[in-house]
Homo-oligomer: A and B are copies of this chain.
């Protein structure tokens, strides 16, 4: 049984392409608010769970020991665009733990923020691991390794104490025991664990409310959420949905996407967790669905709603700048 269409891609008045997927919205007690498609199917959450992966950084005391500020906590939860301020924040984090870029094991790639990538090219400089969108998360892992007093080299391996702590945290938040057969290797070389979408949504309801968590973990979650709400630029970057949405919504929404069409969110005031995956992995569909769900689930002021509608129904323009089509969330996602 195929998952339903979540987003249609229109060219003129015809549907040119369509993106299917599954959506789950639950509260911290597991009461379902919305499900579309198969929400029991395990999905790799990829970077959508960076905030959960960052909990040991706070809970262990590493964030306090290395006096990480809110920008640094936010980038530890973020997939940044490699903009100069992002790179500087990661460098600061590493320096606080007595390390530098050479310790990062995420690999290098060009900044996803095009002007930053172009500036690098024009300067004749190669991208480094600092520009990798995951370098903030990795700097966080390195802080934890140093705080644990263990060898930091090899911190990306599933057997390393840092990844063991991350795995235990995700197991506790999702209530899923993670076996080796659910383990994939992420683009940045750390493990990514496949969990059912409904467990992922509930983990974000817990992350957003603290319900069902120890007091220490609830505090750590609140601190990370507050840091991201204060500095959403460090969670994604210029013009990107997670950043723009949190700039508008601040503490009312924690929003984070991952590769292959995954997005998660927590709406603390409403006690809700959101997780969905576009079956085909399309990022364009994932942004539209996330924006549509925020519009659907939240009571938004007109400005915030207008901002999110630009992500929910983005225009498609041709190379002359003429609008030739548009993405349109399905009625199942955003009732007309």
Contacts and interface: CB of A to CB of B under 8 A. Distances in A.
B107 A318 contact: yes
Interface centre among A11, A44, A132, A322 (most CB of B within 10 A): A11
Interface stretch (A205-213, A248-256, A275-283, A299-307): A275-283
Contact of A16 (B44, B106, B108): B44
Given A122-B124, A189-B319, A325 B282 contact: no
**How many copies altogether?**
2
A55 interface: no
Interface residues of A, number: 50
Contacts of A64: none
A336 interface: no
Interface in A158-199: 181-189, 192, 194
A319 B187 contact: yes
Nearest to A181: B13
Given A122-B121, A320-B105, A185 B11 contact: yes
A58 interface: no
A279 B17 contact: yes
A295 interface: no
A257 to B, nearest CB: 14
Contacts of A184: 11-12, 14, 16, 324-325
Given A16-B281, A18-B280, A280-B17, A185 B9 contact: no
A20 B2 contact: yes
A14 B182 contact: yes
Interface in A269-288: 278-282, 285
A325 B46 CA distance: 14
Interface in A3-31: 9, 11-14, 16-20
A151 interface: no
A314 interface: no
Nearest to A127: B319
A278 B19 CA distance: 10
A335 interface: no
A260 interface: yes
Given A124-B122, A281-B9, A188 B20 contact: no
Given A132-B319, A280-B280, A321-B107, A17 B186 contact: no
A83 to B, nearest CB: 18
Given A9-B281, A189-B319, 7 more contacts: A16-B184, A16-B260, A17-B279, A106-B320, A107-B318, A107-B319, A188-B318
Interface of A: 2, 9, 11-14, 16-20, 42-44, 105-109, 118, 121-122, 124, 132, 181-189, 192, 194, 260-261, 278-282, 285, 318-322, 324-325
